[in-house]
Chain A
Amino acid sequence: MENKTGFNGSESYVASPELMASVNVAIALEKPLLIKGEPGTGKTMLAQAIAQSLGKELLIWNIKSTTKAQEGLYVYDTIQRLYDSQFGEEGVDDIGHYIKLGKLGEAFKSENEPVLLIDEIDKADLEFPNDLLWELDKMEFYIHETKETVKAKKRPIVIITSNAEKELPDAFLRRCIFHYIEFPDKELMEEIVKVHFPDLQDNLLQECMEQFYWIRSLKDIRKKPSTSELVDWIQALLLGGISAEEVKEKMPFVGVLLKKDEDLAVFKKRRLDV
């Protein structure tokens, strides 16, 4: 992408050229960017990296199974108002006092184009994305209580991540730019690891990569280890002062990579086979 001012990855985040292109296209077209990918491929970190490299504020809206779309816009704290009114607190007559903006609201109000991360949108109710269509399209919403329209002065850069727990509605998908983060190949992975551990010895790195990709290649592993687990594992190896030979022979701390009992059993069995 011929975009000198655009996103080019950051010091702590290594992005593939396709991913960088997606980010820049999403920014140029003013559309939300939907990111999917295996757990641990750095979906959430992407937003941080974008904010960092473009020098913008980052707002994170973490979605849970109970999150409602309305919460992202604003919440009217009626109970607080009721309480205050009983004790004659000041400012009770001003409803605006009890309107608390959600993350989306904050992003709209922000003066300088922030990066808004809507993290794990698929965790919420099935209809959740549909409830945000208008707001994400028009970048505005209406507060009924104060008859005020909150409109974004500058469209925030919206990054949405999904783990594909639920299918997202078509109407929502149509409005997004989509990118699927592929699992990094060895080359890119080495680069990623080096960002985290700049002083890592080469032979240890090679050995770890070897073992890591070998485990991932086992067909009967149910939960394949991901980038973040590899990073944790190398961290553990470094703290334990373990050499490349020991990794090869004993595979210490393998529990960091494999979390399921079945997977550990498979791993042990397969290691005997080799």
Chain B
Amino acid sequence: MFSPFFYVLKAKGLEVSTTEWLTLMNALNKGLCGASLTQFYYVARMILVKSEADYDRFDVAFEEYFKDFKYYADIPDAIRKFLDKPEVEVDHSNDELFKPRSEELSKEEIEGMFEERKTEQKTEHNGGSYWIGTNGTSTFGHNGKQPGGIRIGGQSALKSAFQVVGDRRFADFRNDKALNIRQFQVAFRRLRQFSSKIEAPKTELDLDGTIDSTCNNGGYLKLEFEKPRKNTVKLLLLFDSGGTMMPFSTLCNNLFQAVHKANHFKDVKTYYFHNCIYSHVYNSPECDYGDWVESEWLFKNLDADYKVIIVGDAQMAPEELFHNTGNYRGPNNGLSGYEWLTWYTKKFKKVVWLNPRYHANVAKLDWLEAEHAIAGLIRMFPLSVDGLKYAIEELMSTKR
């Protein structure tokens, strides 16, 4: 086994499962990697990595793990086994990987000494600096710390860093953690309101109608069809793309992707704002001056049934929210940010705010005046899978 590699991959953020690892072992046993490291690289990658977005992480991990093997003996058995195919001539002396690192002793010298000492030594030695044994600083043995020495089985002490990987091994099970696109997508599936009042051909069997018609038809089957029911939920997404949102760009991007990949919504409109919403919302996350639509245009053109999700950290100076000239990047049109937000809640039946920097105890934190004020106006939820679930429950509830 060369499980340390498994942990390097994990440490680099690759979600490799035991199943996949065993599949790789199976591939090694079947000799699918031939006798080359390059082929091993491709086979390991195709089995362990499931997204091109993770290829780079894999490369980094691969390099980190394999660059440390300056000595042939350092290469774990499982890899050595496939490198050791007798039918394939592998000349290790020319291989970049196996060049000796230790300056005092060359590979040949260490190997020579090893053979010598093996014949000299008759007893077990643990600790110490000469004999072959465990936990020592001799050039040979188990769990040793001599760089470039020959290791006989066991785990190199230098690799103990990978044990750190285990520290957060249950992190994935936390469901308050903001997670990946798929989890957002699954959450968004709850956002459904079915209606058959749509323009579509009648393609679904109408059971009650069929029973009625068949009875009227003297018992001979007569099929009736009806229109399929479709989701009628329309969404208006407003993203804060201010500077303080930078650390959450991946998270927001995941949310954005999830909404756009979920093709079950009747309509999705996306606009951007900087810190707070005023008289205009921008067409693109760059929030370029002039590349915008008026908030009033939204009020006139989108009906009240649009469900509004505002994503932002609600971090701004109080005057940005309360003063009617508080918008330092564009016009206010006579109203403060707070008043504009109030208009949104009046115009649209359902508005929620998702906050990646959510503070549950916002009332006690004086410096979060703006967040507190907004949370009083619009129901605010943390931007996490659970938060999204509650926000969607709020959007679907019938009470205002």
**Residues of A at under 8 Å CB distance from B?**
1-2, 18, 21-22, 24-25, 28-29, 31, 34, 36, 65, 79, 82-83, 86, 126, 165-170, 173-180
Interface residues of B in 110-154 (CB under 8 A from A): none
CB-based contact B42/A126 at 8 Å: no
What total count of A-B pairs have CB within 8 Å? 75
Contact (A79, B34) CB under 8 Å given A31-B23, A126-B186, A167-B181: no
Smallest Cβ-Cβ distance to B18: which chain A residue: A174
CB-based contact A29/B26 at 8 Å: yes
Q: Does B79 contact A (CB under 8 A)?
A: no
Interface residues of B in 340-381 (CB under 8 A from A): none
A29's partner among B15, B27, B263 (CB-CB below 8 A) is B27
- B interface bracket (residues with beta carbon within 8 Å of A): 20 to 34
Interface residues of B in 4-37 (CB under 8 A from A): 15, 17, 19-20, 23, 26-27, 30, 32, 34
B47's partner among A1, A24, A36, A177 (CB-CB below 8 A) is A177
**Residues of B at under 8 Å CB distance from A?**
15, 17, 19-20, 23, 26-27, 30, 32, 34, 39, 42-43, 46-47, 49-52, 55, 180-182, 185-186, 189, 220-221, 223, 261, 263
Given contacts A29-B27, A165-B261, A167-B180, 16 further A-B contacts (CB under 8 A): A21-B39, A21-B42, A22-B42, A28-B27, A29-B32, A79-B223, A86-B221, A126-B189, A169-B182, A170-B15, A170-B182, A174-B20, A177-B47, A178-B49, A178-B51, A180-B51
Contact (A34, B186) CB under 8 Å given A25-B27, A86-B220: no
Chain B residues with CB under 8 Å of A180's CB are: 51-52, 55
Taken together as a complex, chains A and B put the C-alpha atoms of A24 and B52 apart, in Å, by: 20
Chain B residues with CB under 8 Å of A168's CB are: 50, 182
CB-based contact B221/A167 at 8 Å: no
CB-based contact A126/B19 at 8 Å: no
What would be 10 A-B contacts, judged by CB atoms less than 8 Å apart?
A21-B39, A25-B27, A25-B43, A31-B23, A166-B182, A167-B181, A170-B182, A174-B19, A176-B50, A177-B47
CB-based contact B46/A22 at 8 Å: yes
CB-based contact B223/A178 at 8 Å: no
Chain B residues with CB under 8 Å of A178's CB are: 46-47, 49-51
Instruction: Give A9 Cβ to nearest chain B Cβ, in Å.
Output: 16
